Structure 1
Amino acid sequence: MKRFLASLLVTFSLLGSGMAAERPNIVFIFSDDHAPHAIGAYDGWLKSVDPTPNIDKLAAQGMLFQNSFCTNSICGPSRAVIMTGKHSHKNGFMNNGNSFDWNQQTFPKLLQKAGYTTALYGKSHLKGTPQGFDDWKVLPGQGLYYNPDMITPEGQMRIEGHCTDIVTDLAVKWLQEGRDAEKPFMLMVQHKAPHRNWMPAPRHLHLYDDIEIPEPNTLFDRWWDNEKPARYQELEIDRHMHLNFDLFVDLVKDFDGKSIKGRVDKSAWMNMQRMSPEQLEVWRDAYAPKDKDFHAQNLSCDDLVRWKFQRYAKNYLRCIKGVDESVGTLMDTLKDIGVDNNTIVIYSSDQGFYVGDHGWFDKRWMYEESLKMPLIVKWPGVTKAGSKSERMVQNLDYGETFLDVAGAKIPDDMQGRSLVPLLKGEQPADWRKSIYYHYYEYPSVHMVPRHYGVRTETHKLMKFYQFGEEWEFYDLENDPDELTNQYNNPAYADKIAEVRAELDRIREHYEDDSDVAEKPKAWQETMRTPAL
């Protein structure tokens, strides 16, 4: 009898502390560099090619966030912000050269303490040994698309196949066989795709062969004749996208890649060294005829840019197709094991991306295409199907949201805010009206200068501080493509003063005391020699 009463007391204690078995499971599907406008549900200019039917279905079943932003548009820092619920200057991972301190507080650790079983598969990009997970298998660094190595608790191992499929299979196996079925779970499925160098799975190599991808309106933007910091970057499709390494023209296993110098990404060519003969044959069968046709055209100037855009955009979208199929597989698996009605499914990516917008590829800037990140949440029985939110949210909010869902306490030192009220259809009167951004990785790949700024619901102010008083101000309502810097326009003086005051306030609010000093003139002159 005493044992029975003790059991009842434990049961009631667990229920009272939010440890009930019926708490929602969480599946967090996270891709790399997936621009919102490359998701059909976001109604962007790429919607016409139907790139993401499964992700679109997820949006139709849940909530799509229209104004979802990152805090620092680059891979590792975005993940560190999600893990900690803290801005980069607080969690210590400010650029991809840093190493994440896994000993610090993270939301997976807190979920474990709250009774959740947890797992992570795919791209971590935080270095070190993951903590807070009952099982994990992660890619070293950026990882490879074909036959990648995976770091596991037992050591490093090579897994044959395409990375997107491998990560999906690991997640499915854990859902079916590996998790503790007596506990709620939190599963992080983190894809490498569609990160550069955009190497699709063999089954997708001919996808979109018979169509032309729509071009962005800003494909032929030119930055060379103004004084914007954007003049000095190295992420243009025209001048910086490499025909061999990025677009695979004549790229074969024995290509003389070592003789090509400069800041080029050779990872696709290096990955070819690990391909099986069968994979290489399928690869060259797909690209060799297209390469032959390219050489026959002898393109130049705008015609060459258009060809490069088509090759790039198709490979980018082919990689996304694999991620979209993964979403479909995971949703089917949740249904098959009977947990779909009590599982929250989140789809997001670490930041946005330029798919030819402004003539660019990559991310890093605080401009809209790289600042905005997708966020779609399905919460059965709670979030209205097909709903959309216009509220300003950030990756800073994800950890707090997961903890709130689990009924766990949100630590006071986390800097974001739970999205649960929004997911329930509430409209909090005190919701944020602005978001803060700070990018640190310079000088580095693509040479995007360091900058910080604030985005309100209608305007954006940025400071590129290493080169003195370089400011940009945009009226997003009248200039959504951010083509005209209004910082020196007297007509905007009052609004600029207002937004600048908000930048000072929000920077202080998040306690960003990182170094924003101007660099010496000699350094500036050395770094600001554009390769025109």
Structure 2
Amino acid sequence: MYSAGKILISLLTLIGFASCNNQEVSTPKRPNILFIMSDDHAYQAISAYGSQLIKTPNIDRIAEEGLLFTNACVTNSICAPSRATILTGKHTHINGKIDNRMPFDTTQVTFPQLFQKAGYQTAMFGKLHFGNSPKGVDEYMILPGQGNYINPDFITPRGDTTITGYVTDIITDLSIGWLDKKRDKDKPFMMMYLHKAPHRPWWPSPEKFAEFSKKTFPEPESLFDDYANRGTAAKTAEMNLYKHMMYSHDSKIRPETIEIMGGVEPVVSEMKNGFYGPYGRANAEQKAAYDITLDSINEDFKNTWPTKSMEDKMRWKYQRYMQDYLGVISSVDDNVGRVLDYLDASGIAENTIVIYTSDQGFYLGEHGWFDKRFIYDESFKTPLLVRWPNEINPGTTNDEMVQNLDFAQTFLEAAGIAAPEDMQGESLIPLFKEDTASWSRKAVYYHYYEYPSVHMVKRHYAIVTKEFKLVHFYYDIDEWELYDRIKDPQEMNNVYDDPSYKNIIDKLHKKLDELRIEYKDSEELDQNFINLYLE
């Protein structure tokens, strides 16, 4: 006969076994994270976003099998600050990386460190843009600084190396190679697969160069924008295709061609080694492949440029720009397809979250511009597509105001890792599950600092909702702009002085002040950063 004590021990033992068994059944396997980011990839150049410029069937697959965000945006539209925000989950005035020049505060905790600590295997391949030893990454091969398209150099834990080939293909080879041969398949992984493309100077592979140089692309409606209803900032920026796009660095005109022509109009300041820096990295075989297309472009330029009107010169530069920019994106899309195919073939796709994004948007001739920096939509908005089998319904879209500020907390929650309290974003997991009722954010905050500098886009901060955008340009001017995002989606008319918007402006000013406090930004901080910049 069992004693009461023995019966109690037996019951507790059974409960314990049941508890363990239930835990095993109910605890899901931690998902892998594959974070894919390109550099300067405009949402207007992704067919899932309705692009009329290019088909991107492989990137589109992520949306078809997952979720497309239509209002995703950045906190600061410039490369290194955007990456710092993604890594830390904090605005740039908090993590210290306000522009490409200021150093990153290496005491900041990054989400790869948290994944590594939680038992994930971590890796990074491609363009980080700042820092030679990324923290929290078990294996990395990263480009130094901007990196090169042709025969790129890489920084690795074992020293620097140069790899022959085209950068987009190489980064993909490294990423698939690690997934297939080098990772510990008993651990979940978090891999950052980071493309240099389509960052300036847009050198396609020889095959894409030949293919795309023969294409003609539709012009944006605002190609010849005169900024009549905008303020000083739009009128003084230096990113106009006609006035500022370089012949050799950007349009691939050999310096010798310009010299033979005795100079060209308009005169544009060229970057040192703008042509021969990239081209000079090619070996003899690669140069021979490029020269066929380069000869054709240069011959056409030499014969037709002097007789073109200003409008036709603008159109010629636009077409050359699109041919190269979209050519490099075509390679990105091909290679994203290679990675997705590997995930499917290897059987790990079902438990892998795939994210595709860019570090910000980019102008593709809208307002006559190239580059980014402004809060106007083409620069401010960024592509964001997410696939998570069995968690995200295929083919869904979402128009909530989400930011790159939110990525770190999203990845951490998906992996069951606690996020630090000082992160400033919000997890997107509720939106993955189409639970918009749990999403409280109605407005986002933006702040751009890099002025005076290349492209001369003035400092500004702003609040953006689905309906409106209130912007304050400061430092050497004091101007406000308001855009009605519903009635004026191309942002051609500043309605800040329109009395019919007074109530809206008052509400937005109040909310902007609240956001500045919430995110710990202030006029004092603005002045501190100005003083640092002037040192």
Question: Which residue is 1:293 aligned to?
Answer: 300
What is the DSSP-based 3-state SS (H/G/I as helix, E as strand, rest coil) of the residue aligned with 1:471? strand
Identity %: 45
Distance in 2, Cα, partners of 1:253 & 1:135:
44
Distance in 1, Cα, partners of 2:368 & 2:240:
6
Amino acid at match of 2:234: A
Distance in 2, Cα, partners of 1:196 & 1:23:
38
1:409 to 418, 423, 426: 418
Go from structure 1 to structure 2 and tell me whether the alpha carbon gap of 1:116 and 1:265 turns closer, same or farther (over 3 Å shift). farther
Q: CA deviation at 1:458?
A: 0.4
Output aligned runs, 1:1-400, within 5 Å: 22-46=29-53, 49-50=54-55, 52-223=56-227, 227-250=231-254, 262=269, 264=271, 266-297=273-304, 298-400=307-409
Amino acid at match of 1:25: N
Distance in 1, Cα, partners of 2:516 & 2:276:
42
What is the DSSP-based 3-state SS (H/G/I as helix, E as strand, rest coil) of the residue aligned with 1:347? strand
What is the DSSP-based 3-state SS (H/G/I as helix, E as strand, rest coil) of the residue aligned with 1:416? coil
Q: CA deviation at 1:207?
A: 2.1
Question: Which residue is 1:528 aligned to?
Answer: none
Q: CA deviation at 1:427?
A: 1.6
Amino acid at match of 1:419: L
Residue 460 (str. 1) matches residue 459 (str. 2): no
Deviations 1:320-341 (A, max 9, x none): 0111011101011112222011
Unaligned runs of 5+ in 1: 525-532
What is the DSSP-based 3-state SS (H/G/I as helix, E as strand, rest coil) of the residue aligned with 2:483? strand
Q: CA deviation at 1:250?
A: 2.4
Q: CA deviation at 1:264?
A: 3.5
Q: CA deviation at 1:360?
A: 0.3
The TM-score normalised by the length of structure 2 is 0.90
Deviations 1:226-261 (A, max 9, x none): 6431111110101000111110012579999xx999
Deviations 1:493-527 (A, max 9, x none): 1111111111111111101135335999xx99xxx
Amino acid at match of 2:391: V
Task: Look at both structures and tell me which one has the larger radius of gyration over its CA atoms.
Answer: 2
Question: Which residue is 1:497 aligned to?
Answer: 506
Contact 2:431 2:439 in 1 (8 A): no
Q: CA deviation at 1:191?
A: 0.4
User: Could you tell which deviates more after superposition, 444-453 or 215-224?
Assistant: 215-224
Distance in 2, Cα, partners of 1:416 & 1:24:
21
Amino acid at match of 2:490: D
Residue 516 (str. 1) matches residue 516 (str. 2): no
Q: CA deviation at 1:103?
A: 3.3
Contact 1:250 1:288 in 2 (8 A): no
Q: CA deviation at 1:15?
A: 6.2
Deviations 1:338-394 (A, max 9, x none): 201111111000000001011000000000100000000000011010000011100
What is the DSSP-based 3-state SS (H/G/I as helix, E as strand, rest coil) of the residue aligned with 1:467? coil
User: Could you tell which deviates more after superposition, 121-130 or 230-239?
Assistant: 121-130
Q: CA deviation at 1:38?
A: 0.5
Kindly report the root-mean-square deviation, in angstroms, between the aligned alpha carbons of the 2 structures.
Answer: 2.7
Distance in 1, Cα, partners of 2:281 & 2:311:
35
Go from structure 1 to structure 2 and tell me whether the alpha carbon gap of 1:191 and 1:398 turns closer, same or farther (over 3 Å shift). same
Unaligned runs of 5+ in 2: 1-12
Deviations 1:57-100 (A, max 9, x none): 22101000000000000000000000000000111111001222
Amino acid at match of 1:272: Y
Distance in 2, Cα, partners of 1:226 & 1:186:
44
Contact 2:213 2:293 in 1 (8 A): no
Contact 1:33 1:351 in 2 (8 A): yes
Question: Which residue is 1:530 aligned to?
Answer: none
Contact 1:252 1:272 in 2 (8 A): no
Deviations 1:1-53 (A, max 9, x none): xxxx9xx99x969968x9x682111111100000001000001342xx32x11
Distance in 2, Cα, partners of 1:60 & 1:472:
37
User: Could you tell which deviates more after superposition, 341-350 or 21-30?
Assistant: 21-30
Distance in 2, Cα, partners of 1:180 & 1:15:
24
Q: CA deviation at 1:279?
A: 1.1
Distance in 2, Cα, partners of 1:266 & 1:457:
43
Contact 1:119 1:135 in 2 (8 A): yes
Go from structure 1 to structure 2 and tell me whether the alpha carbon gap of 1:394 and 1:519 turns closer, same or farther (over 3 Å shift). closer
Contact 2:230 2:493 in 1 (8 A): no
Go from structure 1 to structure 2 and tell me whether the alpha carbon gap of 1:382 and 1:227 turns closer, same or farther (over 3 Å shift). closer
Go from structure 1 to structure 2 and tell me whether the alpha carbon gap of 1:254 and 1:293 turns closer, same or farther (over 3 Å shift). closer
What is the DSSP-based 3-state SS (H/G/I as helix, E as strand, rest coil) of the residue aligned with 2:154? strand
Distance in 2, Cα, partners of 1:519 & 1:126:
19
What is the DSSP-based 3-state SS (H/G/I as helix, E as strand, rest coil) of the residue aligned with 1:188? strand
